Amino acid sequence: MAKGKTTVYFCQSCGYESTKWMGQCPGCKEWNTFVEEIIDRKSSSGKLTDRGTAPKAVALNQVVLSREERVLTGLSEFDRVLGGGIVPGSLVLVGGDPGIGKSTLLLQICQILSNMNKKTLYISGEESLQQIKLRADRIGSFTNELNLLCETNLTDIKTVIQQEKPQMIVIDSIQTMYSEDISSAPGSVSQVREATSAFMQIAKGMGITIFIVGHVTKEGVVAGPRVLEHMVDTVLYFEGDRHASYRILRGVKNRFGSTNEIGVFEMCNTGLRQVENPSEYMLNGKPEGASGSIVACLIEGTRPILLEVQALVCRSNFGIPRRTAAGADLNRVNLLMAVLEKRNNMPLSGCDAYINIAGGIRMTEPAVDLAMVLALVSCYKDIAIPEKTICFGEVGLSGEVRAVSMAQQRVAEAKKLGFTTCILPKVNVSSIDKVEGIRLIGVADVGDAIRAIL
Ligand code: TYD
Ligand code: MG
């Protein structure tokens, strides 16, 4: 490897390293993500050879398992996403768009943990002490166990951590941290990597839980947290429509639990509040007796969520019909409309169609197919679907309704929220125990489903 200063190009999205600039990254196939960085190979590789003691291999049978004691925050939506509480000594990355509420969420976690008499340290490289205090005042009262530090220099931060010995640390954000050993600017791929590996050593070496905030930007000026995903134990994404008040915390990687769990929060004027019953929340404001609307039951992680699917179909005034899908896959909508046209004699090719999953959640699960089909037909025929009806099922190209997983949980959730009729794939009916108070209508194809309720 060349010694001294060399120029390399990094992909901002996946961290791919190249000696030449390229338009498209061979690693992640993104365009225009390469940026130039100057790296001092000597200083970064020198450290590795300086070690005095050689490591020793250990026999697998001699490894003693210590029961990991998870810390429950009491914020159950948060604990669930982490797989049942915080694992001490773990490194957790919280990514998300600017302004979504990452700092607020982590300050609230600090509040909870410091109230449990755990020493916490909130390190901010973005905001002043006064700004953090202002936010903290909105959230509530804090104990003396929470300390703040406004610093971006890694060496200084390490010194403070060694003096204070906290049990939990928040780094807000990783893009502002820098090491003097590296010449490139804070936020560049090499700085972000260096800072993350430094925090990883602190987390593992001292058994401190570290939460790292990472920004995601489209422009690629700041290194996206994607490059750190493989270095940390757990990756959480905080997402949501900025105009809607609810936020979703999604686990995408977890070394200590299952992924794809979600936690639902609502941003109010005293910080984030957890939404323990998202179905109820999502169904708020559902119109009564209107055509083109039906409730679908979908699974997020291990949790069923009820969502309203709306469709609007009208005759197209132009040659090419206009179709949009908010919260659903547009290709899927086009496909389902083609199925209705071909298999159920509905001339939809001359119709504009708009699909909306109310609440703004993005759903890609195929089980939403049947709901989209029924909403489209209901609007096209202008007949309202009976109240208290829900449906779920995947629709195939010949119009058949195919089985979906976790049917029992979906039916149970519908029952819990007072639904009385459930349209579901025929194949699923036999596998479900009878649920009192809800009528199950098994359908083999789209035609069956339409005849059943319209
Ligand atoms: P913030 O946590 O600063 O976002 P991030 O760290 O992800 O950039 O929060 C951003 C928004 O949250 C901000 O626009 C104000 C809003 N907010 C509330 O609505 N209520 C509150 O109690 C707090 C603290 C913030
Ligand atoms: Mg912030």
Q: Give rounded-to-5 percent helix, strand, coil for the chain.
A: 30, 30, 40
Q: How far apart are the C-alpha atoms of 227 and 237, rounded to whole Å?
A: 14
- Cβ proximity of 109 and 121 under 8 Å: no
Compute the Cα dihedral for 417, 420, 425, 428 and give only its sign: positive
Over the range 119-131, which residues count as b (16 or more CB within 10 Å of their CB) and which as e?
bbbbbbbbbeeee
Backbone angles phi and psi of 389, in degrees to 5:
-115, 135
CA 437 to chain centre: 35
- Cβ proximity of 106 and 94 under 8 Å: yes
Instruction: Report which protein residue has its CA nearest ligand 1's atom 12.
Output: 101
CA 248 / ligand 1 centre spacing (Å): 14
CA 250 / ligand 2 centre spacing (Å): 18
Taking the domains of the chain in order of start, what are their residue ranges? 5-42, 69-276, 281-453
Q: How far apart are the C-alpha atoms of 400 and 448, rounded to whole Å?
A: 9
Q: Which residues lie across from 314 on neighbouring strands? A: 352
Residue of 97, 103, 104, 111 to mutate, ligand 1, most atoms within 8 A of C-beta: 104
How is 190-236 classified by DSSP, letter by letter? HHHHHHHHHHHHHHHHHT-EEEEEEE--SSSSSPPGGGGTTTSSEEE
Lookup: tokens for 123: 């390190």
Are the folds of 69-276 and 281-453 the same?
no
Instruction: Report which protein residue has its CA nearest ligand 1's atom 1.
Output: 101
Q: How far apart are the C-alpha atoms of 28 and 150, rounded to whole Å?
A: 35
Q: How far apart are the C-alpha atoms of 193 and 16, rounded to whole Å?
A: 12
Say which CATH superfamily domain 69-276 falls into.
Answer: P-loop containing nucleotide triphosphate hydrolases (3.40.50.300)
CA 227 / ligand 1 centre spacing (Å): 25
Position in ligand 1 atom list of the atom nearest CA 105? 2
What pTM did the predictor assign?
0.78
Q: What is the pLDDT along the chain (454 residues), one digit of tens a residue?
A: 455 678 888 887 777 888 999 999 888 888 888 888 877 765 544 455 555 678 889 898 888 877 668 889 989 889 989 988 999 989 999 988 888 899 999 999 999 999 999 999 999 999 999 999 999 999 998 888 899 999 999 999 999 999 999 999 999 989 899 998 888 888 888 888 889 999 999 999 898 999 999 887 665 445 555 678 888 999 998 887 767 778 889 888 898 887 778 888 998 899 999 988 888 888 888 888 899 999 999 988 778 889 999 999 999 888 889 999 988 999 999 999 999 999 999 999 899 999 998 877 777 889 999 999 999 999 999 999 998 999 999 999 999 999 999 999 999 999 988 999 999 999 999 988 888 889 999 999 999 999 998 8
Residue with tokens 């509480």: 85
Position in ligand 1 atom list of the atom nearest CA 96? 7
Query: How large is the greatest C-alpha to C-alpha distance in the chain, in angstroms?
Result: 79
Backbone angles phi and psi of 285, in degrees to 5:
85, 15
Given this model, what pLDDT does residue 45 score? Answer: 47
Position in ligand 1 atom list of the atom nearest CA 245? 19
CATH number belonging to domain 281-453: 3.30.230.10
Q: Is the peptide bond before 45 cis (omega within 30 degrees of 0)?
A: no
Backbone angles phi and psi of 245, in degrees to 5:
-85, -15
Given this model, what pLDDT does residue 46 score? Answer: 47
Given this model, what pLDDT does residue 393 score? Answer: 96
Q: How far apart are the C-alpha atoms of 279 and 263, rounded to whole Å?
A: 12
Q: How far apart are the C-alpha atoms of 429 and 295, rounded to whole Å?
A: 19
Instruction: Report which protein residue has its CA nearest ligand 1's atom 2.
Output: 101
Q: How many CB atoms lie within 10 A of CB 388?
A: 15
- Which amino acid belongs to residue 173? S
